[in-house]
């Protein structure tokens, strides 16, 4: 017998007025399930925390209605495309525009971030798909093949493929490592609204306005199954994180489907109307919908929804006979996203016609349009950039409590709802001591004991130290009051070593500062290096990094050996400073170094040129030494992995 579905499995969480005019696009952050981004006809991009009434941030820059928005996986960047064809990328931490990308001739209908590396794919009403390099601020490649507007784009979990869905009733699969189309999936009789990759298998799901969902085998490039009879156009689909089922969002319901054979596990009635996006967090499915200027959010408790086992009869298809089930519906019949390297065929270069590209009225956008080109000239670069070196590590959801169900659900839920709801902040996790004890649905691997490999830059307590050791002993009430000198002596007791370290550090910084006041940056850095204290070097580099114009070629020769030490440090703050300094050096001096080394020898004696050539050779040798370290660490997960992968791309020309 199947587990009966509780009546209250879905509830409306909140409704907000998101924009002053109509909302045209919105997206949920998949990592946390709590961050919501909306784009409207008022040309703004607004950020919200689910279940919070006030807007967190409002981003401006577009001069026409925002048609599409997308958050990257760590929820640190957001990209938005406008009706005029322009694309802007914002850094959420700095709350400023990071890049402006021009080139499309019509509305931006779809966007997606590459799972690793700073790449964005955009689909437009001009039928073109463009791949953008945010770092280089330009278009890497343009994919042509659709005959109507491209409504949805999705990168595969391994980052090697790109799936596109369009109004021409087709789904296309593009190979990023080869820069060409792999296959086309026809079959839908209406515009295809959404596509979604299976998290593990070579499987792709597509939902269409023809009220059908199709599953495609990406190994054999053929349809696996087709589900018909949806109550309305399929607006959003999402695979369960473990890949056991597919959630489909329609006009008034959430449906849970399986494939091989196709079947409906469960139906949850949700009056969310025009549902736009789905996300899963804490065994809850969060859905968002919009109507005019209002945005509504809904929650479905997945612990009460049938996903596997006995099939729940679909009320819409109750009159139709059920399809016979296989004994093991969850068994995977396809490979996972781990493929051997393949030989890349040379992609066709795209010649941009400046007159045919859409121009913005402002002169700044004209400049951006001219710079929005970063074509990949070498076919092997596709495989180098988009071929993952190891398995992709996905960012886990940020710690947060499930949304409490309405009190009328049942007695247990009412008791739980009567408790004060913990504050849910998108930016800061809830401290562990404030989380009420409750049975956990998912158990994680316990953290290993001992000192971590990387010491975080911000911690609640020092490593290997007890705060109580640094506090004065509790005074006896009858004891006479201590004078100031005795109190200071008692506080400093046992801290002679720390005082010596701090005194030495202060002395070293005074030495560097005395040289700095003379205005000679190079001598200041030399003195910091001669002290042989990385903490002093880090303090100095943090100042120099604030102003890129302070960097000179002779300064690089001194700093690069220190950067190599910083990148190998166990302290997170040291690694961050080293990555920032290396990125500035690569952006400012790597083209100069390669050009000078590649130039033919000059005629006659040019002492300044010889000195410059010597510095370039020295920097090149040091960069080659660092590139091996960067390449070995580009497979790390989290913030460090992203920084090392970006440096690896910048240092690709050294190979």
Could you count the other beta carbons within 10 Å of the beta carbon of residue 331?
A: 8
Q: How far apart are CA 41 and CA 561, in angstroms?
A: 51
Q: Closest by alpha carbon to 59, among 49, 69, 73, 74?
A: 69
DSSP 8-class letter at 357: S
Q: 131 - beta bridge partners?
A: 121, 141
Torsion of Cα atoms, 67 then 72 then 78 then 82, to 10°: -20
Confidence of residue 508 (pLDDT cuts 50, 70, 90): confident
Annotated domain spans of the chain:
10-307+370-377, 501-651
Both structure tokens of 517: 């006041």
Q: How far apart are CA 636 and CA 454, in angstroms?
A: 12
Confidence of residue 439 (pLDDT cuts 50, 70, 90): very low
Q: How far apart are CA 212 and CA 232, in angstroms?
A: 9
**Most trustworthy range by pLDDT among 376-385, 400-409, 524-533:** 524-533
CATH topology of domain 10-307+370-377: Methylamine Dehydrogenase; Chain H (2.130.10)
**Pairing label, strands 129-133, 119-124:** antiparallel
Q: How far apart are CA 57 and CA 70, in angstroms?
A: 15
Both structure tokens of 388: 């993952």
Alpha helices in 550-605 (DSSP H): 553-567, 572-598
Is the whole-model pTM more than 0.85?
no
Instruction: Please name the residue that has the structure tokens 């204290």.
Output: 533
Among 149-163, 501-515, 565-579, the least confident range: 501-515
Mean predicted confidence (pLDDT) in 343-365: 35
Q: How far apart are CA 382 and CA 377, in angstroms?
A: 9
Q: How far apart are CA 441 and CA 94, in angstroms?
A: 36
Q: For residue 464, give every residue at least 6 positions away whose Cβ sits within 8 Å of its Cβ, in sequence order, or none.
A: 451
Instruction: Please name the residue that has the structure tokens 């981003």.
Output: 59
Q: How far apart are CA 73 and CA 390, in angstroms?
A: 18
Report helix, strand or coil for 181.
strand
User: Long-range CB contacts (< 8 A, 24+ apart) of 566-573?
Assistant: 566/534, 566/537, 566/538, 567/626, 567/629, 567/630, 567/633, 568/629, 569/534, 570/453, 570/454, 570/455, 571/454, 571/455, 571/457, 572/454, 572/455, 572/456, 572/457, 572/640, 573/457, 573/538
Both structure tokens of 508: 């070293």
pLDDT at position 455 is 64
pLDDT at position 93 is 84
Percent of the chain surpassing pLDDT 90: 20
Confidence of residue 642 (pLDDT cuts 50, 70, 90): confident
Task: Give residue 236's region: left, alpha or beta (phi > 0; psi -120 to 50).
Answer: beta
pLDDT tens, residue by residue, 24-47: 899 998 888 889 999 998 899 999
CA angle 400, 24, 54 (to 5 degrees): 40
* The pLDDT of residue 606 is above 70: yes
User: Long-range CB contacts (< 8 A, 24+ apart) of 427-433?
Assistant: 429/398, 429/399, 429/400, 430/399, 430/400, 430/401
pLDDT tens, residue by residue, 196-246: 999 988 999 999 998 999 999 988 888 999 998 778 889 899 999 988 999
Confidence of residue 506 (pLDDT cuts 50, 70, 90): confident
Instruction: Please name the residue that has the structure tokens 């005029």.
Output: 84
Report helix, strand or coil for 16.
strand
pLDDT tens, residue by residue, 92-109: 888 888 889 988 988 999
pLDDT at position 375 is 61
From residue 305, give the alpha-carbon distance in Å to each of 2, 10, 264. 11, 10, 12
Q: Are 122 and 108 contacting, i.e. CB atoms less than 8 angstroms apart?
A: yes
Q: Are 179 and 141 contacting, i.e. CB atoms less than 8 angstroms apart?
A: yes
pLDDT at position 166 is 93
pLDDT at position 533 is 82
The end-to-end CA distance of the chain, in Å, is: 62
DSSP 8-class letter at 348: P
Both structure tokens of 341: 């390297």
Looking at per-residue confidence, does 306 or 124 come out higher?
124
List strand residue ranges (DSSP E) for 520-590, in order: none
DSSP 602-645: PSS--HHHHHHHHHHHHHHHHHHHHHHHHHHHTT--HHHHHHHH
pLDDT at position 248 is 93
DSSP 8-class letter at 550: G
Q: How far apart are CA 415 and CA 411, in angstroms?
A: 6
Q: How far apart are CA 394 and CA 275, in angstroms?
A: 26
Confidence of residue 308 (pLDDT cuts 50, 70, 90): low
Report helix, strand or coil for 396.
coil
Is the peptide bond between 261 and the residue preceding it cis, with omega within 30 degrees of 0? yes
Instruction: Please name the residue that has the structure tokens 């593009």.
Output: 174
Q: How far apart are CA 263 and CA 48, in angstroms?
A: 36
pLDDT tens, residue by residue, 393-436: 333 344 567 888 776 544 344 334 434 433 333 333 333 333 33
Q: How far apart are CA 451 and CA 305, in angstroms?
A: 42
The helix or strand, by DSSP H or E, that contains position 386, with its residue range, turns out to be helix 380-386
Q: Are 196 and 184 contacting, i.e. CB atoms less than 8 angstroms apart?
A: no
Among 141-145, 358-362, 387-391, the least confident range: 358-362
pLDDT at position 21 is 84
Q: 28 - beta bridge partners?
A: 36
pLDDT tens, residue by residue, 233-286: 898 999 999 889 999 998 888 999 998 888 898 999 888 888 999 999 888 999
Looking at per-residue confidence, does 149 or 367 come out higher?
149
Looking at per-residue confidence, does 496 or 170 come out higher?
170
120 phi and psi angles, rounded to 5 deg: -135, 135
């Amino acid at each position: 017998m199947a587990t009966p579905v509780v009546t209250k499995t879905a509830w409306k969480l909140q409704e907000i007025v998101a924009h002053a005019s109509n909302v045209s696009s919105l997206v949920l952050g998949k990592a946390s399930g709590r961050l919501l981004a909306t784009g409207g006809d008022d040309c703004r991009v607004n950020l919200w925390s689910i279940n919070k009434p006030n807007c967190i941030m409002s981003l401006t820059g577009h001069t026409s209605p925002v048609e599409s928005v997308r958050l990257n996986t760590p929820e640190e960047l957001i990209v938005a495309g406008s009706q005029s064809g322009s694309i802007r990328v914002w850094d959420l931490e700095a709350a400023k525009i990071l890049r402006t990308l021009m080139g499309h001739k019509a509305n931006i209908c779809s966007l997606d971030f590459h799972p690793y590396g700073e790449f964005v794919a955009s689909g437009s009403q001009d039928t073109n798909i463009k791949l953008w390099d945010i770092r280089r601020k330009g278009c890497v490649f343009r994919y042509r093949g659709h005959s109507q507007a491209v409504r949805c784009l999705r990168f595969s979990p391994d980052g090697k493929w790109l799936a596109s869905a369009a109004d021409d009733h087709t789904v296309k699969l593009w190979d990023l490592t080869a820069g060409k189309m792999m296959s086309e999936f026809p079959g839908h009789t209406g515009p295809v609204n959404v596509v979604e990759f299976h998290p593990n298998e070579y499987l792709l799901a597509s939902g269409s306005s023809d009220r059908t969902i199709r599953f495609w085998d990406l190994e054999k490039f053929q349809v696996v199954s087709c589900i018909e009879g949806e109550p309305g156009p399929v607006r959003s689909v999402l695979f369960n994180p473990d890949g056991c089922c597919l959630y489909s969002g329609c006009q008034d319901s959430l449906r849970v489907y399986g494939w091989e054979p196709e079947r409906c596990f469960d139906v949850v009635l949700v009056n969310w109307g025009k549902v736009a996006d789905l996300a899963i967090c804490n065994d809850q499915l969060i859905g968002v919908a919009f109507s005019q200027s209002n945005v509504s959010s809904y929650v479905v408790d997945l612990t009460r929804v049938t996903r596997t086992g006995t099939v729940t009869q679909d009320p819409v298809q109750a009159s139709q006979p059920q399809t016979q089930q296989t004994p093991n519906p969850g068994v995977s019949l396809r490979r996972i996203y781990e493929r051997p390297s393949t030989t890349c065929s040379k992609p066709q270069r795209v010649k941009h016609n400046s007159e045919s590209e859409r121009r913005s009225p402002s002169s700044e956008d004209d400049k951006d349009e001219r710079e929005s080109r970063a074509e990949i000239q070498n076919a092997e670069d596709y495989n180098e950039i988009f071929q993952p070196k190891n398995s992709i590590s996905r960012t886990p959801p940020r710690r947060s409590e499930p949304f409490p169900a309405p009190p009328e659900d049942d007695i247990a839920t009412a008791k739980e709802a009567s408790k004060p709801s913990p504050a849910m902040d998108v930016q800061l996790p809830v401290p562990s001591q404030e989380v009420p004890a409750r049975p956990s649905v998912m158990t994680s691997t316990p953290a290993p004991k001992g000192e971590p490999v990387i010491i975080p830059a911000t911690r609640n307590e020092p490593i290997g130290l007890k705060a109580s050791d640094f506090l004065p002993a509790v005074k006896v009430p009858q004891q006479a009051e201590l004078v100031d000198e005795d109190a200071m002596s008692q506080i400093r007791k046992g801290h002679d070593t720390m005082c010596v370290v701090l005194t030495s550090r202060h002395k070293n910084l005074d030495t560097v500062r005395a040289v700095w006041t003379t205005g000679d940056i190079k001598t200041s850095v030399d003195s910091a290096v001669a002290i042989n204290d990385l903490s002093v070097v880090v303090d100095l580099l943090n100042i120099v990094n604030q102003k890129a114009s302070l960097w000179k070629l002779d300064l690089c020769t001194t700093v690069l050996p220190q950067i190599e030490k910083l990148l190998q440090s166990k302290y997170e703050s040291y690694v961050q400073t080293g990555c920032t300094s290396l990125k500035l050096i690569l952006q400012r001096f790597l083209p100069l170094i390669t050009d000078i080394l590649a130039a033919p020898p000059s005629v006659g004696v040019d002492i300044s040129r010889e000195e410059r050539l010597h510095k370039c050779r020295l920097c090149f040798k040091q960069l080659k030494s660092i590139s091996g370290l960067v390449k070995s660490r580009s497979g790390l997960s989290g913030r460090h992995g992203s920084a090392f992968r970006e440096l690896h791309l910048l240092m690709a020309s050294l190979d």
